[in-house]
């Protein structure tokens, strides 16, 4: 059983996180937690014991500057999207003792990454395309898809290309949740073709418009606007998509409240899951990882239902 394992704050793990940005799990039970404030990754055993950490702030080998996401492959190799150094850092090793190997340099600014069936994908504008399959050995772009002409404009690039990617082994489907748009886009990982675009119901969108040489963001006049909070695979056919409000005074999009959850599938489209829900940043099998920042940053492992029905 994994449910009830807590990482961070005043827990048995004896780990104080600055701010949790992402979590990834390996098939052997190890959990990797990305701390975007401390620029490091901490490694935990399945029972919550801390096994070690790696990274640290800087620009040298294995050091991290402005991390955004991480993923782990079946061999235990860990990939960290290092935005400040415009690269993907790669680490190898056993238990908690991981060391850096040759990084994967990028020729574009990536916002998120995911890994499925041995294929590495990154999100970010490059030559008018938003999603790119990368070589896991060199970081070179193997192919690009998800065209977006508006993202070519420097003033619109961040608004159009920022968001979350979701992918999973055996799914042949990749999901893109934009940070500021009320929609979910599904792509075929084999061809890159757009499988569908689904509108998120009840989404309070920010209005994005050009203003002089820049961009103006205007929220709803009667309250805050929603932002994308993440997308993760739930079972063989559904994705869990979440939106939220930024917490007042938040300094990053990892500080969220009033999370809303939706099930997305090709057959049923988008359906809201009623009730209050924690923010989930990733899942593997029946393990999902929720995060919170109040009263302190933490990660909690929760059990998912084996197969949610089509109706939420």
Q: Could you report the per-residue pLDDT of 214-237, keeping only the tens digit for each? A: 778 888 888 899 999 999 998 888
Q: What is the pLDDT of residue 9?
A: 65
CATH match of 6-201+232-239+274-303 with 1.20.1260.10: no
Q: What is the pLDDT of residue 310?
A: 37
pLDDT at 307 over 60: no
pLDDT at 291 over 70: yes
Q: Could you report the per-residue pLDDT of 135-182, keeping only the tens digit for each? A: 999 999 999 999 999 999 888 888 899 999 999 999 999 999 999 999
Of residues 284 and 270, the one with the higher pLDDT is 270
Distant-in-sequence, close-in-space partners of 298: CB < 8 Å, separation ≥ 6: 6, 7, 8, 9, 11, 17, 20, 291, 292
pLDDT at 1 over 80: no
Q: Is 83:110 a contact under the CB 8 Å cutoff? A: yes
Tokens 């055993």 belong to 45
Strand partners, 226: 245
Q: Could you report the per-residue pLDDT of 41-85, keeping only the tens digit for each? A: 999 999 999 999 999 999 999 999 999 999 999 999 999 999 999
Long-range pairs for 153-159: beta carbons < 8 A, 24 or more residues apart: 155/210, 155/213, 155/214, 155/215, 156/208, 156/210, 156/215, 157/125, 159/208, 159/215, 159/217
- Report the pLDDT averaged over residues 101-112: 97
pLDDT at 8 over 90: no
Q: What is the pLDDT of residue 11?
A: 53
Distant-in-sequence, close-in-space partners of 6: CB < 8 Å, separation ≥ 6: 12, 13, 48, 298, 299, 300, 301
Average pLDDT over the chain reads: 90
Strand partners, 132: 122, 144
Q: What is the pLDDT of residue 180?
A: 92
Distant-in-sequence, close-in-space partners of 108: CB < 8 Å, separation ≥ 6: 124, 125, 126, 132
Strand partners, 143: 133
What is the rounded CA–CA span in Å between residue 123 and residue 167? 12
Distant-in-sequence, close-in-space partners of 210: CB < 8 Å, separation ≥ 6: 155, 156, 216
Q: What is the pLDDT of residue 254?
A: 81
Q: What is the pLDDT of residue 159?
A: 85
Q: Could you report the per-residue pLDDT of 83-101, keeping only the tens digit for each? A: 999 999 999 999 998 999 9
What is the rounded CA–CA span in Å between residue 277 and residue 279? 7
Residues above pLDDT 70, as percent of the chain:
95
Q: What is the pLDDT of residue 294?
A: 79
Tokens 């993760």 belong to 232
Q: What is the pLDDT of residue 10?
A: 58
- Report the pLDDT averaged over residues 17-29: 93
Q: Is 258:275 a contact under the CB 8 Å cutoff? A: no
Strand partners, 113: 122
Q: What is the pLDDT of residue 23?
A: 96
């Amino acid at each position: 059983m994994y449910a009830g394992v807590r990482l961070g704050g005043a827990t048995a793990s004896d780990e104080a996180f600055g701010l949790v940005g992402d979590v990834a799990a390996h098939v052997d039970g190890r959990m990797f937690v990305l701390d975007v404030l401390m620029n490091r990754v901490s490694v935990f055993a399945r029972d919550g014991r801390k096994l070690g950490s790696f990274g640290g702030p800087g620009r040298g080998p294995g050091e991290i500057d402005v991390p955004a996401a991480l993923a782990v492959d079946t061999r235990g190799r860990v990939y960290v999207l290092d935005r400040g150094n415009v690269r993907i850092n790669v680490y190898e090793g056993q238990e908690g003792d991981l060391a850096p190997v040759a990084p994967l340099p990028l020729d574009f600014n990536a916002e998120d990454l995911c890994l499925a069936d041995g294929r590495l994908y990154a999100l970010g504008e490059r030559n008018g395309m938003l999603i790119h399959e990368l070589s896991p050995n060199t970081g070179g772009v193997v192919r690009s898809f998800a065209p977006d002409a508006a993202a070519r404009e420097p003033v619109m690039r961040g608004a159009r290309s920022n968001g979350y990617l979701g992918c999973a082994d055996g799914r042949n489907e990749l999901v893109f949740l934009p940070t500021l748009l009320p929609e979910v886009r599904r792509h075929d990982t084999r061809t890159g073709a757009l499988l569908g675009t689904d509108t998120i119901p009840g989404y309070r969108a920010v209005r994005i418009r050009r203003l002089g040489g820049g961009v103006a963001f205007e929220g709803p006049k009667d309250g805050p606007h929603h932002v994308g909070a993440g997308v993760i695979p739930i079972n063989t056919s559904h994705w869990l998509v979440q939106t939220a409000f930024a917490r007042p005074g938040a300094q990053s999009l990892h500080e969220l409240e009033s999370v809303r959850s939706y099930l997305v599938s090709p057959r049923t489209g988008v359906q809201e899951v009623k009730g209050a829900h924690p923010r989930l940043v990733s899942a593997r099998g029946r393990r999902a990882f929720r995060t919170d920042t109040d009263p302190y940053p933490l990660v909690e492992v929760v059990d998912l239902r084996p197969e949610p029905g089509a109706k939420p």
